[in-house]
Chains A and B, each alone.
Chain A
């Protein structure tokens, strides 16, 4: 049975780009452990030789011609959605290294 310590929770939070308070870490550790305990029921199912299902449409490689077509929204309209400054037609994001 898998359970998650607050330390593991903090590690997963970092992978998920979330910051949790120590209260949230404790609560999340309890809740995530109970969810993992619940889904552990799957381990009793014999899946030897069973292929995984990722999608059910039966479609494969839905391709189209490589032609540039106007999309529903223009670049300026998309840029206008950003909460960050727009400089030279690009979004100015915070610096990666402080």
Chain B
């Protein structure tokens, strides 16, 4: 099946005219129609337009760009002009009112493109539609989505992870060749790890956030989820770089990531942080990650231990800073310029309150409430300012560690994919799923998740590598060397059984 190809493989066939982009796109569409009912990973199908675009690419006939004619899905927070985009929230989806008195309104349809989907379009990539996410990316399992949970292709009784769970599932299940996600506290890396695919969170400011719905603006990043590290390099190269429309993007030249991939790790210094191999880390996950470190050593890496002493404060710091920024970002959803609306308001305050109370789900409300409290008079210093100071200490941990090593190697998640509903009634338990993925975001450093094994139950395990700011090239090259020395990334879930 053509949808099973990697970008690199498909590009080769397109260039040689062995296949057309239309055939490739149709194969992805057929795959979605055949298996997505089992997964619930796709929330909007833009298939007619995709086929039209594919035919245009075929007619033009130039396949110089490695992404020309390559079909992908974007997480439902990326704006594309004319394409419904809801953040998987009833605030923008606009279903019928709970009392049934008001009929469904229209879904939000952005009138402009995000910089990233625009850059992909310029590179010739074909947008297939939108994937499931936790509501406005708030969650670690896609269970807070207004469309319901995305199921894991490896075991449909389990979550695919989150918040980019839909994007991870469509790639793992070969419904497309790659997908776009966002990572604020682990939302690309953790689902990639749960679904046995590769995902990269780039340096904060390496990729543009313009046109992507914001969650926590000082932490949000956007990036690809792919079937191989080589594919990650190709997509990142196409979407990275300064954007005048996002003032937080840095003016650092984008290297040729793909051309710099190497198959060995000679002389690369890799640190294993003591604080990530702790009680509570699943023994099978630990064994796989330690084995991955041994593989790196066999490829020439020098593996040592490093210390990141403030790691244990990362989750608490994140769950102060993130909700504060959430409470501010969610203020835009007021029913005035877009989204959900209510009828016969008494006054403006009543309109705001009813619109927001009906539109937002429980996790979004919880974060807005925590953030509003932590930023309110009398509490700002104790929570927000304090957390910003601890953020400085967490960042310093990485600055110091990277004086002695080139990369840091750790697990992505303490566990494999959990059962649907297992953490739903306990917000703290859900927040602790992020224990190994939130410290890096405080420092804004790039990190990658690649498959490194399976549990006895057959559930995927992910390996996390981290590099200093702007060193995505180093990260991709090391991940590529590891991947080429192992077979994990070649395993695919079996979904065709009844």
Using CB atoms and an 8 Å cutoff, list the residues of chain A in contact with chain B.
4, 9, 12-20, 24, 28, 31-32, 34-36, 38-43, 45, 47, 50-59, 62, 64, 71-74, 77-78, 80-84, 91, 93-98
A81 to chain B, nearest CB (A): 4
Given contacts A4-B373, A55-B248, A98-B346, 17 further A-B contacts (CB under 8 A): A12-B372, A18-B360, A20-B365, A35-B427, A41-B316, A47-B386, A53-B442, A56-B442, A56-B444, A59-B248, A59-B250, A62-B247, A81-B111, A81-B338, A84-B335, A94-B345, A95-B348
Interface residues of B in 299-342 (CB under 8 A from A): 310, 312-313, 316-317, 319-320, 327, 331, 334-341
Contacts of B204 in A (CB 8 A): 56-57
The answer to whether B369 touches A18, judged by C-beta atoms less than 8 angstroms apart, is yes
Contacts of B81 in A (CB 8 A): 72-73
Contacts of A47 in B (CB 8 A): 386, 389-390, 393
Residue from the list A12, A38, A54, A93 in contact with B336, Cβ < 8 A: A93
Over the window 420-455 of chain B, the binary record of Cβ atoms lying under 8 Å from chain A Cβ atoms (1 yes, 0 no) is: 000000011001000000000011100000000000
The answer to whether B336 touches A91, judged by C-beta atoms less than 8 angstroms apart, is yes
Over the window 198-220 of chain B, the binary record of Cβ atoms lying under 8 Å from chain A Cβ atoms (1 yes, 0 no) is: 00000011000001000000100
The answer to whether A51 touches B389, judged by C-beta atoms less than 8 angstroms apart, is yes
A74 to B312, CA, bound (A): 48
The answer to whether B348 touches A83, judged by C-beta atoms less than 8 angstroms apart, is no
Q: Decide if B494 is an interface residue (CB 8 Å cutoff).
A: no
* Secondary structure dominating the interface of A: loop
The answer to whether B372 touches A53, judged by C-beta atoms less than 8 angstroms apart, is no
Chain B residue at minimum C-beta to C-beta distance from A75: B111
The answer to whether A94 touches B351, judged by C-beta atoms less than 8 angstroms apart, is yes
Contacts of B443 in A (CB 8 A): 56
A62 to B205, CA, bound (A): 12
A36 to B383, CA, bound (A): 9
B329 to chain A, nearest CB (A): 12
Of listed A17, A38, A81, residue having the most chain B CB within 10 A = A17
Contacts of A50 in B (CB 8 A): 389, 392-393
Also in contact, A53 and B353, with CB within 8 A (given A32-B370, A38-B428): no
Contacts of B334 in A (CB 8 A): 17
Also in contact, A57 and B248, with CB within 8 A (given A38-B316, A83-B105): yes
Over the window 461-484 of chain B, the binary record of Cβ atoms lying under 8 Å from chain A Cβ atoms (1 yes, 0 no) is: 000000001000000000000000
B265 to chain A, nearest CB (A): 27
Contacts of B387 in A (CB 8 A): 39, 42
Contacts of B113 in A (CB 8 A): 72
A94 to B181, CA, bound (A): 37
The answer to whether A54 touches B218, judged by C-beta atoms less than 8 angstroms apart, is yes
Contacts of B110 in A (CB 8 A): 73, 81
A54 to chain B, nearest CB (A): 6
Interface residues of B in 332-379 (CB under 8 A from A): 334-341, 345-354, 356-357, 360, 365-366, 368-370, 372-373, 376
Chain A residue at minimum C-beta to C-beta distance from B347: A98
Residue from the list B353, B382, B428, B469 in contact with A56, Cβ < 8 A: B469
Q: Decide if B227 is an interface residue (CB 8 Å cutoff).
A: no
The answer to whether B348 touches A94, judged by C-beta atoms less than 8 angstroms apart, is yes
What are the 8 A-B residue pairs with the smallest beta carbon separation, nearest first?
A: A72-B112, A52-B388, A56-B444, A62-B247, A77-B111, A83-B341, A73-B111, A47-B389
Q: Decide if B37 is an interface residue (CB 8 Å cutoff).
A: no
Q: Decide if B391 is an interface residue (CB 8 Å cutoff).
A: yes
Contacts of B428 in A (CB 8 A): 34-35, 38
A5 to chain B, nearest CB (A): 12
Residue from the list B108, B356, B431 in contact with A17, Cβ < 8 A: B356
Q: Decide if B244 is an interface residue (CB 8 Å cutoff).
A: yes
A57 to B383, CA, bound (A): 23
The answer to whether A42 touches B313, judged by C-beta atoms less than 8 angstroms apart, is yes
The answer to whether A52 touches B376, judged by C-beta atoms less than 8 angstroms apart, is no
Residue from the list A18, A28, A52, A81 in contact with B357, Cβ < 8 A: A18
Over the window 375-406 of chain B, the binary record of Cβ atoms lying under 8 Å from chain A Cβ atoms (1 yes, 0 no) is: 01000001101111111110100000000000
Contacts of A14 in B (CB 8 A): 353
B438 to chain A, nearest CB (A): 13
The answer to whether B341 touches A94, judged by C-beta atoms less than 8 angstroms apart, is no
Contacts of B316 in A (CB 8 A): 38-42
Q: Decide if B109 is an interface residue (CB 8 Å cutoff).
A: yes
B78 to chain A, nearest CB (A): 14
15 A–B contacts from the bound complex (CB under 8 Å): A16-B327, A18-B353, A31-B366, A34-B428, A35-B428, A42-B313, A52-B385, A53-B392, A56-B205, A71-B112, A73-B110, A78-B111, A82-B336, A83-B335, A94-B347
